[in-house]
Structure 1
Amino acid sequence: MLLDKFHNRYIVKGTIVAETPIHIGAGNESIDPVETENAVIKDKDGKPYIPGSSLKGALRSWLEIFLRGSGSKLVGEKKTCLIVDKPCIDPSDKEIKKWLEEIKEKYEGKDDADRFVAEEIYRKLCPICRVFGSHYFASKITINDCRLKDEKTYIETRDRVAIDRDTGTASQGKKYDFEQVAAGTKFDFYMTADNLDEENEKILKIIIKVLESGNFTVGGKTSIGLGRIKLCDAKVYRIDQNSLESYLFNGLSEEMGWQYV
């Protein structure tokens, strides 16, 4: 199902709770000796948040691995690609380039030629690329930045000792510190998914369930136990062509609720 016209929209709302401290780095190191070396990302008001792009990227990476393994049969027979290493439609691949030229020639001069070409490309995509996007298609999923639910900010500074890679022991006199958002911190969660078919719906259900499990991690330093989050109080709504007008004029309602279990 393409994105050229409205068919349906799924909205997932809830609360993300930090089960363990979270560190999503700001991408810069301070040169101020009284500041921490590795700060967490903050908004313009100095409050930490979880970037929607970081959460979406972590979900995609997890799904690519999961659906290539034990979950491979959950969303059909087509094998899931690894978008970074080997995308299902690699624009640099000679065979792919040839195939793209052939399908463009096939529909050249026909009404809705662009749509027919897009449908051919979409059919060749793996289940993950159909939902999360590829070189040729926009993502069907959008995750907003997860902002703090409470006014009070809980940021801790943690000290660590550098490890010598050769000996596996602590390096003498080498310490570093970093910021982390405290466990128990709560963030708003809001995700939309557009024009999902039955296969896409299965992926959405997996996303919701893995977030609800409390075993999903986001951010850095996960190897030392950081970044475990849990989706709580999730509510999922489905808007289709029959309920679109009501949604636009009156907002979400209980009648639009969608069962994902």
Structure 2
Amino acid sequence: MATSKLLKKIVYTGTITLKTGLHIGGTNAALNIGGPDKFVVRNPVNNVPYIPGSSLKGKMRALVEIANGCITYTNRGEAKASEDPNSISGRLFGVATGKDNNRPSRLIVRDAEMDISHPEMFENTDLPYTESKTEVTIDRVTAKANPRTFERVPAGAVFKLNMVLNIFEGEDEQGLKDTVKQAIRLLENDYLGGNGSRGYGQVKIMLDNPEGETLTF
């Protein structure tokens, strides 16, 4: 069995700034009468919203796959992601098929904590660190209005970004780094979380160092 040595880790830190409200769904267990129908995910220890690393990484991967033609469609029109570990997406995000071509992910994406160092930003929000936004859907047959209320993290909120790229011996380091940069650019021109087609989830990502901090061993 071939082995591969870990050569370095490239650490990316920076910020994710919301340009529009963000909704990444959490539990509705604490639903209050008159409150939002859909809640955001929060840290259960301090009740502060955060961006799950799984949400961030999953969106980045999906955008990279779409942009690089890693998505195919069956005769029934069903989308299917590539299982090729040597595809652009597979090299960075890995492939887990249960077969011999498994490849671990090279990118670790941490949960992004909210920066609450400026509490005055949230003085006018109707919920702790968040806002409630009521929307109305119209039944196009009966014209009946169906209101629903979403909890959102408001525009202007900042989250702390932290990602780690593992580089192994014999791998295309520059290619992996270029794919990370591509994923960030694509995300800025798409959306994060839910309801993006209705204006939610536009973000701006700023890296402290675009090339990351290299840790060698």
Q: Which range, TM-score by smaller chain?
A: 0.7 to 0.9
Q: Distance in 1 between matches of 2:14 and 2:135?
A: 34
Structure 1 residues 3 and 38, CA gap change in structure 2 (3 angstroms)? farther
Work out whether residues 61 and 89 of structure 2, in 8 Å CA contact, stay in contact via their aligned partners in 1.
yes
Alignment correspondent of 1:156: 131
More helix by share: 1
Q: 1:130 aligned to 85, 88, 91, which one?
A: 91
Q: Is the 8 A contact 1:41 1:49 kept in 2?
A: yes
Q: Which AA in structure 2 matches 1:216? A: D
Q: Cα offset for 1:17?
A: 0.2
Match of 2:109 in 1: 143
CA distance in 1, matches of 2:65, 2:141: 33
Match status 1:175 vs 2:147: yes
- Which residue in 2 is equivalent to 1:63? 64
Larger Rg: 1
Deviation at 1:200, TM superposition (A): 1.9
Deviation, structure 1 residue 88: 3.4
Which one has the bigger strand percentage?
A: 2
Change (3 A) 1:156 1:130: same
Aligned residue pairs, count: 192
SS, match of residue 197 in structure 2: helix
For the residues of structure 1 that align with 2:179 and 2:116, how far apart are their CA atoms? 31
Q: Which runs of 5+ in 2 are unaligned?
A: 73-77, 97-101, 123-128
Structure 1 residues 165 and 26: alpha-carbon distance in aligned structure 2, compared to 1, 3 A threshold: farther
Is the Cα–Cα contact under 8 Å of residues 64 and 186 in structure 2 kept in the other structure? no
Give, in angstroms, the shift of residue 35 of structure 1: 2.6
Q: Return the alpha-carbon distance in structure 2 between the equivalents of residues 81 and 175 of structure 1.
A: 36
Q: Equivalent of 1:194, from 166, 189, 193?
A: 166
The Cα RMSD (Å) is: 2.6
Matched, 1:218 2:192: yes
CA contact (8 A) 2:12 2:213 kept: no
Q: Could you say what secondary structure the match of 1:217 adopts?
A: coil
| TM-score computed with the length of structure 2 as normaliser | 0.77
Measure how far apart 1:176 and its partner are: 1.1
Distance (Å, rounded) in 1 between the aligned partners of 2:3 and 2:19 = 36
Matched, 1:36 2:41: no
Q: What percent of counterpart residues are identical? A: 28
Where structure 1 has 5 or more consecutive residues not aligned to the other structure, the ranges are 69-79, 90-120, 246-261
Choose the corresponding residue for 1:229, options 203, 208, 211: 203
Q: Say which SS state the counterpart of residue 57 (structure 2) adopts.
A: helix
SS of corresponding position for 1:8? strand
TM-score (ref. length: structure 1): 0.65
